[in-house]
Structure 1
Amino acid sequence: MPEVAIDAVVFDVLGTLVDEPAGIRAGIRELAPSLDDPRIEQLLALWQQHIDREQRRILDGARPFLPSDGLDLEAARLVAEAVGIDDPAAVTALASSGRRLAPWPDTVAGLARLAGRFPLIGLSNASRTALLGINAHAGLRWHQALSAEDVRTYKPDPAVYQLAVTVSGRPPERLLMVAAHAWDLRAAQHLGLRTAYVARPVGDPPTPSDRFDLYADHLADLADQAEQLVNA
């Protein structure tokens, strides 16, 4: 166990606490019920590739900032076009599937347990409006939920992590960033936050060269480890 004390826990949301791919798959099935599973996976990949590419372009300054709602709508249009659907209402419904995301089985109980010991801060690339919908649909418990929209950029831009530092009023080394994405944790480390990797089926696993403070198989495991750091 590393010698580290924490005052608040900062959570990534998409993929870490909710199953984002499953929500989008469900939206694609609603759009075109006759599609088979391999085709749905192709369309899911099309959606994900668009989001990843356009967020990178925004980070690189190649296009103006657009909140996640706008990027989701662009992705939904691409998917709908790929299956020959041009109904605007159907496209809008598909775009909103990014807000109807189920929590992982351990998420709600794990957050409730941690919230009894630490202030919890959600930190997401989802827009403010999308984050509100995700939190409500999945039943996520926060003391504060922060969107990258507040700084008009996306993780892994340091400005997003600085949001959590500023809101907490604590030095970065007293915050524990939790994510299922190693890239997210590396960026948080660069700003001085402590880091905890939690394993998820859809995450970005650590490489052998990564050195995070905590490694957890699930949120109960994370809570067991984090509680030992109280008042350390």
Structure 2
Amino acid sequence: MAELDIDVLVFDILGTLVDEPAGIRAGIRALDPSLDDAGTERLLLLWQRHIEDEQRRILDGDRPYAPSDVLDREAAGLVAETAGVDDPAAVAALALSARQLPPWPDTVAGLARLAGRFPLVGLSNASRTALLGIDAHAGLRWHQALSAEDARAYKPDPEVYRLAVTVSGLPPERLLMVAAHSWDLRGAQALGLRTAYVARPVGDPPATSDKFDVYADGLAGLADRLGAP
């Protein structure tokens, strides 16, 4: 699409390129194999709510910044306690499940295709250490991977998106933020980045009021829209 003049692609990772719930769900099942599906989903929701609530508290200034590793350990402890598991090794293994996230089926090939035309930047709320594990486990290809830890904040704080702008050395409008979460794209939009929504089963679909530059049903569709080989 010639009308979208961009130089760099910036990707959200959790949920957009990897199936975060699937990885944590697997960790919960390993923690307590006796759980049925409903029990597993209740504990997954408990984990997700803790992460969301604590990130919000940090963004609101009600808690000092803590990297995602800390929040994951807290969530793992909460889930284990609720499940009646008090084995420290099992809790530690559950916390690490937040780094063992499977890529979506089109992720690896889609990134390789897009990398043939654009520099690719990963921009994640995951800590630097967690991001290394996530990228290695899922086989993600980057030219640069950035962690919100470097801004001591979480998306959608504008300072996180500013990391990608600074690294690129370009005006924000030359960067295209790609995400499955509309709240993430709104945050990028507020700083002047262009935006691309990619539909995923665990994403945050656009509201009727959202106006993103690109809409795609996957990375292949995104590559087609951007003219990637």
TM-score range, shorter chain: over 0.9
1:141 CA displacement: 0.1
Q: Secondary structure at the match of 2:208?
A: coil
| Equivalent residue number for residue 221 of structure 1 | 221
Normalising by structure 2, we get a TM-score of 0.98
Deviations 1:69-99 (A, max 9, x none): 0000000000000011111111000000000
> How far apart in 2 are the matches of 1:184 and 1:28?
27
The alpha-carbon deviation at position 227 of structure 1 amounts to: 2.0
What's the counterpart of residue 29 of structure 1? 29
Aligned to 1:39: 39
Identify the residue that residue 119 of structure 2 maps to in structure 1.
Answer: 119
Matching residue of 1:101: 101
TM-score scaled to structure 1, two decimals?
0.97
- TM-superposed deviation, 1:131: 0.3
Deviations 1:94-119 (A, max 9, x none): 00000000000000000000011000
Separation of aligned partners in 2, 1:83 and 1:212: 41
Residues 1:86 and 2:105 are matched in the alignment:
no
Aligned AA for 2:40?
A: I
State the distance in 2 between where 1:2 and 1:189 align. Answer: 20
Per the alignment, residue 77 of structure 2 pairs with: 77
**1:194: which partner in 2?**
194
Query: What residue number does 1:130 align with?
Result: 130
SS in 2 for 1:5: coil
Task: Measure, in 2, the Cα distance between the counterparts of 1:227 and 1:135.
Answer: 25
Contact kept, 8 Å, 1:27 with 1:93, in 2: the verdict is yes
CA contact (8 A) 1:14 1:20 kept: yes
Q: Which residue does the alignment assign to 1:13?
A: 13
Unaligned runs of 5+ in 2: none
Which residue number corresponds to residue 152 of structure 1? 152
- Structure 1 residue runs of 5 or longer lacking an equivalent are none
Counterpart contact for 1:2–1:213, Cα < 8 Å: no
- Read off the aligned partner of 2:227 and give its amino acid letter: E
SS at match of 2:196: strand
CA RMSD between the two structures: 1.1
Query: How far 1:2 moved relative to its partner?
Result: 7.6
Distance, in Å, in 2 between the alignment partners of 1:194 and 1:222 is 14
Q: Is the 8 A contact 1:122 1:146 kept in 2?
A: yes
Q: Which residue of 1 aligns with 2:164?
A: 164
Give me the whole-angstrom Cα distance separating, in 1, the residues matched to 2:172 and 2:2: 16
Q: Which amino acid aligns with 1:63?
A: R
- The question of whether the paired residues in 2 share the 8 Å contact of 1:55 and 1:154 is answered with yes
Letter in 2 for 1:142: W
Q: Residue in 1 aligned with 2:48?
A: 48
Distance of 2:84 and 2:99 partners within structure 1: 24
Say yes or no: does 1:64 pair with 2:64. yes
- Give identity over the alignment, percent: 78
What letter matches 1:171 in structure 2?
P
Runs of 4+ in 1 over 3 A off after TM superposition: none
